[in-house]
Amino acid sequence: MRQRLPDRRGHQVIAFHHNGFDYRGGVGRWPNGQVSEVFLDCTKLGTMADTMARDSAVVASIALQCGANLDTLRRALIRDASGNACGPLGALLDLVSEGDDL
């Protein structure tokens, strides 16, 4: 069952470059600090890269609100032979995960 997010919550913004595009990611968290939602868009608005980024973030947010684990989502996404994320959602989730380790 999907958990309802608090009406007011903090939001972290992360800007990053991935595969030739600049992206903006946003991360919302549950009161316990776990990631509850992600937002993602490409600075080239209206492009297929932007649409795919936004759509992937919506699906990831729904999964997180239904109890999916962030690391499980990260590991499920496509990676290259070196283990680097192939898509922007994977890159964002990697950045979020690395930030949690600090």
Per-residue pLDDT of 1-60, as tens digits, reads 777 777 777 789 999 999 999 999 999 998 888 999 999 999 999 999 999 999 999 999
Does residue 96 lie in a domain region? yes
| 0.85 exceeded by pTM | yes
4 falls within a domain: no
Confirm whether 82 is domain-assigned. yes
Work out how many domains the chain is built from and give that number: 1
Strand pairing of 21-29 and 35-42? antiparallel
The verdict on residue 3 lying in a domain is no
Range of the domain at 26: 11-100
Cβ-proximal residues to 86 (8 Å cutoff; 6+ apart), any chain: 19, 77, 78, 79, 80
